[in-house]
Amino acid sequence: MQISLLDRKALVTGASRGIGRAIALGLAGAGADVVLVATNEALLSEVAGEIEALGRQALVRPVDLRDGEAVTAMVKEVSKTLGGLDIVVNNAGITADNLLMRTKEADWSRVLDVNLSGAFRVTKAATRALLKSKHGRLINISSVVGLTGNAGQSSYAASKAGLIGFTKSLAQEFSSRGVTANCVAPGFIETDMTAALTEEQQAMICERIPLGRVGSVGEIAAACVFLASDQAAYLTGTVLRIDGGLSM
């Protein structure tokens, strides 16, 4: 089975690093042109260079997802520039981990603002284009923590659980147009976000993972490429857990 996203137009948030970068490269590898969104323009430009080397178009759009007006203007502009949008991947995310008693309201708000409201802003601005597309696909990157909760991560878990309800609602709103909406819920993936943990903490986590290892960004990207494809046309409102069995 050959997956092709030839000439599809995709937008990926958090595309400067980690999972988002791998998703953007995966979509481009399957033939898509990709809009790259994050705040670090230099890193986005590096990813754009890699995509152009694959023979695809890459648009670098440095935008902070907390800026609603800038997000709306950017999504409208890229839809016009590319002549539509078929695939939106809300991947950008941050953590501000702490026990609830020590969680400052500003940190709580920042996590919800980027992880959940950021996805709302991008998706709302992209909805018209997605509904017009014959292959519309919304993919939101949640986390297994959004399903299981995790001590010390109440703000992050709340944002990731919120994304799941958001996605399922849109799966219902978009269904009459054949546009799908799904979540990917990664477990423990090796990126900057998890690099802050000590080797000891990482070893303790691996002990709890049935497959006995952390996941790679490529393993998340492969699932997103599949969800974006025609082969996944009958899959909507799901939460695909990619966690080595951690949350089963």
> Which of these ranges, 50-58, 90-98, 120-128, 199-207, lies near ligand NAP under the rule CB under 6 A?
90-98
* Residue of 156, 166, 174, 188 marked active site: 156
State which residue, 140 or 229, has the beta carbon closest to ligand NAP.
Answer: 140
Helix (H) and strand (E) counts for the chain? 10, 7
Site mask, ligand NAP, residues 203-232, x = CB under 6 A? ------------------------------
DSSP H/E element including 239: strand 239-242
156 is a catalytic site residue: yes
Mark 139-168 with x for binding to ligand NAP (rule: CB under 6 A) and - for no binding. --x-x-------------------------
Judged by CB under 6 A, the residue of 91, 127, 155, 229 near ligand NAP is 91
Cα angle value 3/8/12 (rounded, 5°): 95
| Minimum distance, C-beta of residue 1 to ligand NAP, in the bound complex (Å) | 26
- Cα–Cα distance measured from residue 208 to residue 171, given in angstroms and rounded to the nearest whole number: 32
Cite the beta strand spans of 52-203 per DSSP E: 58-62, 87-90, 137-141, 180-186
**Cα of 39 vs its chain's centroid, Å:** 15
User: Which of helix, strand or coil describes residue 13?
Assistant: strand
186 is a contact residue toward ligand NAP (CB under 6 A) = yes
Helix (H) / strand (E) containing 241: strand 239-242
By annotation, the residues acting in catalysis are 156
Q: Note the residues at the interface with ligand NAP (CB under 6 A).
A: 13-14, 16-20, 38-40, 43, 64-66, 91-94, 114, 141, 143, 186, 188-189, 191-194
